[in-house]
């Protein structure tokens, strides 16, 4: 058994410059990830309007993104558990950046769809590895808050993409969408260069037997924290008893992890279908209903502000009322607003009701993608398990554009929102009944052999030497 005890040593640390540096490097990449995923919501409306693509080809464009993201999520899981978080994180950003710039030079829709698939490979990996990397560094008592903030940064990519599109695309529709790809790809390559020295996770290093490297990183981090605190650190908690979880893939096919994979896959399938079956299509819905391109983007911009707002709310409540309660409340609110949304006719009121719908949806996105899924599995299996859950989630959205087109053509926006309501009800029931509650618990406690966590632990008063966060 390793003597490093990385989990307990990281969990007793105060937040320091080290944590903020890691968070900033990951957060910049996650913002670009969100920016480009939601870039599709502006591109598809534009290429339709200019005749660069047909409705069916735009559906292929969206589906190609999610085929790439599905494979990227799965590949990142296996690469990240085998070669480390830092290596995998850099590789996916490089793939995304190069493909994004190439997409801007697309001579036809076929080339754009192919480049979008390659971009999807990088996007899918970035999402899985980014949240996992932060999960393994942030102390348990603050993990929900910081992961929620990271999800808020990711979600800010939606209004940023729409805002930039509002200024770049309407004035030059045939070239503006290309500029958007150039901006995203160039920024990604800049961040790739900045992140070349991203610190590897000591938890992962310990899990693969690289104890000396883990010890060196932990010693440096502890010394940095002591200097900032100007006092001795809190005592190290004892390692949970029992052997380390197996790093064999077959462990995911047994209790307790198989059930968690199933629940994780179901909830990600549903939230992907909701977001990419409604939010991504908002500008297109508006354009097809007769709005000008400029007005459609402005309406969508107001509604998109609900993305960082919802994720920010999730960050605030994740460690207080817990993951399961947050999900249940957000589902109920989203279902209620979705019910009235199709009947809103006032053009001044419509975007604000839409904001009220996107906020709880993105609270769910933050909670499920950013906070909940990475907490459910041991370090040895974390990325592979998260990659599998994300693979199923992304895989479902391959068919979503075609379903959305059918519903919109036959029943309008009301048909789309009705399906959303049913999916959200299923999500809430599955997580509340079958999910575990990881809030304020160490990753090792949540994921140890035979661990079953169903309720929030009591709050523990911090040690006198522990700093205020």
Q: What is the pLDDT of residues 171-229, one digit of tens each?
A: 777 788 899 999 999 999 999 998 888 899 999 999 999 999 999 999 999 998 888 77
Query: Does the structure show a pLDDT above 50 at 462?
Result: no
- Cβ-Cβ contacts under 8 Å for 268 (sequence gap 6 or more): 368, 369, 373, 389, 390, 392, 393
Tell me if the bond preceding 256 is cis, omega within 30° of 0: yes
Residue 468 reports pLDDT greater than 50: no
CA 37 – CA 31 distance, rounded (Å) = 10
| CA–CA gap between residue 406 and residue 214 (Å, rounded) | 53
The residues spanned by each domain of the chain are 6-230+250-447
Encoded tokens for 186: 């160039």
pLDDT at 25 over 50: yes
55 against 111, higher pLDDT: 111
Please report which residue ranges of 136-240 form alpha helices under DSSP H. Answer: 143-155, 157-168, 173-194, 202-207, 211-229
CATH class in words for 6-230+250-447: mainly alpha
Q: Is residue 398 within 8 Å of 144, Cβ to Cβ?
A: no
Out of 25-29, 278-282, 413-417, pick the least confident: 278-282
Instruction: Give the chain's mean pLDDT.
Output: 87
Q: What is the per-residue pLDDT for 238?
A: 73
pLDDT tens-place string over residues 64-105: 888 898 999 999 999 999 999 999 989 999 999 999 999 999
pLDDT greater at residue 148 or residue 123: 148
User: What is the pLDDT, as a whole number, of residue 282?
Assistant: 67
Q: What is the pLDDT of residue 1?
A: 52
Query: What's residue 166's pLDDT?
Result: 79
| Placement of tokens 């085998």 in the chain | 82
The whole-number average pLDDT for the span 151-158 is 90
- Whether the CB-CB separation of 174 and 50 falls below 8 Å is answered with yes
As to burial, measured by CB atoms within 10 angstroms (0-12 exposed, 13-18 middle, 19+ buried), residue 358 is buried
Q: Are 5 and 236 in contact (CB under 8 A)?
A: yes
Whether 246 contacts 44, CB under 8 Å: no
Residues 6+ apart with CB under 8 A from 113: 57, 60, 61, 64
- Spatial distance between the Cα atoms of 21 and 27, rounded to a whole number of angstroms: 10
In this model, does residue 396 exceed pLDDT 90?
no
Q: Is residue 458's pLDDT more than 70? A: no
CA pair distance 459, 110, nearest whole angstrom: 55
Secondary structure class of 87 (helix, strand, coil): helix
State the Cα–Cα distance between residues 64 and 3, nearest whole angstrom: 46
d(CA 298, CA 165): 10
DSSP state of 366: I
CA atoms 105, 110, 112, 118: torsion sign = negative
What is the per-residue pLDDT for 464? 44
For the cut 50, the answer to whether the pLDDT of residue 149 exceeds it is yes
Cα 129 to Cα 204: distance, rounded to the nearest angstrom: 12
Is residue 284's pLDDT more than 80? no
* 147-161, 185-199, 273-287, 294-308: least confidently modelled range: 273-287
For residue 203, the number of C-alpha atoms closer than 13 Å in the C-beta half-sphere is: 29
Least confident span in 52-61, 211-220, 317-326, 358-367: 52-61
Check whether 287 has a pLDDT greater than 80. no
Percent of the residues in the chain that have a pLDDT greater than 90, as a whole number: 52
- The model's pLDDT over 218-275, given as tens digits with 9 standing for 90+, comes to 999 999 888 877 667 888 877 665 566 777 888 899 888 999 999 999 999 999 889 8
pTM to 2 decimals? 0.87
pLDDT confidence of residue 42: 74
Q: Cβ(371)–Cβ(314) under 8 Å?
A: yes
97 burial level (CB within 10 Å; 0-12, 13-18, 19+): buried
pLDDT at 376 over 50: yes
Q: Tell me what the mean pLDDT of segment 5-10 comes to.
A: 93
pLDDT of residue 449: 58
């Amino acid at each position: 058994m390793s003597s490093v005890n990385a989990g307990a040593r990281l969990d007793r640390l105060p937040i320091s410059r080290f944590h903020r540096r890691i968070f900033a490097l990951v957060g910049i990449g996650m913002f670009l990830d969100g920016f480009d995923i939601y870039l599709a919501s502006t591109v598809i409306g534009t290429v339709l309007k200019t005749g660069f693509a047909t409705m069916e080809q735009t559906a292929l464009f969206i589906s190609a993104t999610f085929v790439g993201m599905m494979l990227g999520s799965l590949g990142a899981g296996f690469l990240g558990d085998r070669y480390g978080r830092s290596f995998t994180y850099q590789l996916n950003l490089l793939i995304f950046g190069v493909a994004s710039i190439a997409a801007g030079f697309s001579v036809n829709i076929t080339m754009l769809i192919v480049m979008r698939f390659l971009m999807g490979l990088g996007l899918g990996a970035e999402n899985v590895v980014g949240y996992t990397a932060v999960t393994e560094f942030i102390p348990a008592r603050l993990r929900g808050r910081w992961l929620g903030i990271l999800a808020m940064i990711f979600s800010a990519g939606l209004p940023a993409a729409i805002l930039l599109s509002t200024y770049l695309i309407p004035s030059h529709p045939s070239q503006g969408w290309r500029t958007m790809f150039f901006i995203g790809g160039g920024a990604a390559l800049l961040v790739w260069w900045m992140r070349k020295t991203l610190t590897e996770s000591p938890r992962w290093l310990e899990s693969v037997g690289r104890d000396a490297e883990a010890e060196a990183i932990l010693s440096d981090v502890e010394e940095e924290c002591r200097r900032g605190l100007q006092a001795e650190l809190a005592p190290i908690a004892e390692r949970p008893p029992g052997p380390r979880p197996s790093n064999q893939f077959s462990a995911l096919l047994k209790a307790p992890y198989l059930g968690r994979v199933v629940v994780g896959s179901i909830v990600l399938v549903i939230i992907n279908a909701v977001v990419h079956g409604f939010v991504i299509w908002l500008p297109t819905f508006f354009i097809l209903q007769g709005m000008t391109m400029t007005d459609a983007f402005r309406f969508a911009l107001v509604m998109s502000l609900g993305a960082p707002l919802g994720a920010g709310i999730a960050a605030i409540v994740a460690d207080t009322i817990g993951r399961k309660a947050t999900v249940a409340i957000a589902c109920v609110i989203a279902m209620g607003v979705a019910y009235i949304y199709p009947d809103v006719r006032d053009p001044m009121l419509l975007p604000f009701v839409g904001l009220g719908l996107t906020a709880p949806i993105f609270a769910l996105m933050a909670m499920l993608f950013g906070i909940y899924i990475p907490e459910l599995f041991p370090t040895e299996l974390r990325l592979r398990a998260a990659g599998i859950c994300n693979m199923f989630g992304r895989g479902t959205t391959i068919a979503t554009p075609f379903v959305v087109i059918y519903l919109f053509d036959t029943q309008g926006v009301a048909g789309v929102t009705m399906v959303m309501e049913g999916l959200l009800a299923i999500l809430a029931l599955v997580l509340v009944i079958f999910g575990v509650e990881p809030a304020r618990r160490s990753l090792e406690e949540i994921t140890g052999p035979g661990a079953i966590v169903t309720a929030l632990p009591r709050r523990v008063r911090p040690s006198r030497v522990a700093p205020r966060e």
